[in-house]
Amino acid sequence: MAQTVPKNYLDFEKPIIELEKMIEELETFSVTTETDLSSQIGELRERCDSLKKDIFSKLTAWQRVQLARHPNRPLTPDYIEFVFNDFLELHGDRRFGDDKAVVTGLARLNGRRVMVVGHCKGRAVREKMACNFGMAHPEGYRKALHKMCLAEKFRLPVITFVDTPGAYPGVGAEERGQAHAIAENIREMSRLRVPIVTIVIGEGGSGGALGIGVADRLAIMENAYYSVISPEGCASILWKTSERAEDAANTLKLTAQDLKEFGIVDDIVPEPLGGAHRDHIGAARSVRAYLESTLAEFDGVPCGELVDRRYERLKSVGKYLEPAVVST
């Protein structure tokens, strides 16, 4: 089967790309000359897979940030297409308008009815501009909350996909209550009486991520990140220059592996070898399997117990030290 070499690739992927180009050239030569080169092609494929495993097992935090932002990485609409059936998009917040940076709708997951909510970045330039590059306005978060409340009314599980650099900080957004909208979502999601499963599929930026990220089970894709601030923003504050973003990424402990170790996320969803941007279908299979198994765990759990468990989970995030009591 012919292999397509990605047009967009990161610097650390260059050795892989060079091998893939060799494989592609041999495949083309084999077809045009009717020469059997299957043995040589097979050896190169094995070398390529081995190289991928080696490179992707040693990624730095900054390299994972780059992967989370990769232009070919699957977005929320891709997961909606490949994971769910019968998706019916629902628009508007019933107050101001419809924010395209957040997509919501009813769907079926292996026959189970669910409500899907997710950030939408857009792929082409015009789509990115229409979606404001995934940075939601207050109406986006209010739309999300309205649809989650609708899910609660009909006792449907809520699935959210987080992929945003952060909530939009523009003047208009602030005037329309950006901070209040996010805070309201956090409060209401914490007491929603249906299961909520959240997956960080790309960027998980600050309050913009939290606005749809309060969940019974929080997962993150293997090469996604989740952080209180972007590496560039952190570098600008600590070192007065965004050029030290790589140092900031390492300091922030924002990778899936770090977050799992600290107990911030519950699970890591594996990506296909070489990253989700190379295999959308494979990434979607991992997400689908995770969602099906996770939702099954909540079957039969009473609403009150569900909310209590969620509250305890949220309280367990983070650590603090009690001051020692000095007797006098």
Residue 1 has a pLDDT of 45
Write out the two tokens for 114. 């669910």
Residue 29 has a pLDDT of 81
Q: Any idea what DSSP says for residue 322? A: P
Write down the residue that tokens 């996010």 correspond to.
Answer: 182
Residue environment code for 194-227, b if the CB has 16+ CB neighbours within 10 A, otherwise e: bbbbbbbbbbbbbbbbbbbbbbbbbbbbbbbbbb
CA-to-CA distance for 283 and 152, rounded, in angstroms?
A: 28
Answer CATH for 65-316 from 2.30.130.60, 3.40.50.10540, 3.90.226.10, 3.30.70.1340: 3.90.226.10
Q: φ and ψ at 104, to 5 degrees?
A: -135, 155
Write out the two tokens for 322. 């009690």
Residue 7 has a pLDDT of 65
Q: Which phi-psi region, left, alpha or beta, contains residue 92 (left: φ > 0; alpha: ψ -120 to 50)?
A: left
Residue 52 parent element (H or E) = helix 38-56
CA-to-CA distance for 165 and 219, rounded, in angstroms?
A: 18
Q: Alpha helix locations (H) across 121-240?
A: 125-130, 138-153, 171-175, 178-190, 206-210, 231-238
Q: Mean pLDDT, consecutive 10-residue segments, the chain of 328 residues?
A: 62 88 84 82 87 91 95 96 96 91 96 97 94 95 96 97 94 93 96 96 93 96 95 93 93 94 94 93 97 95 94 83 72
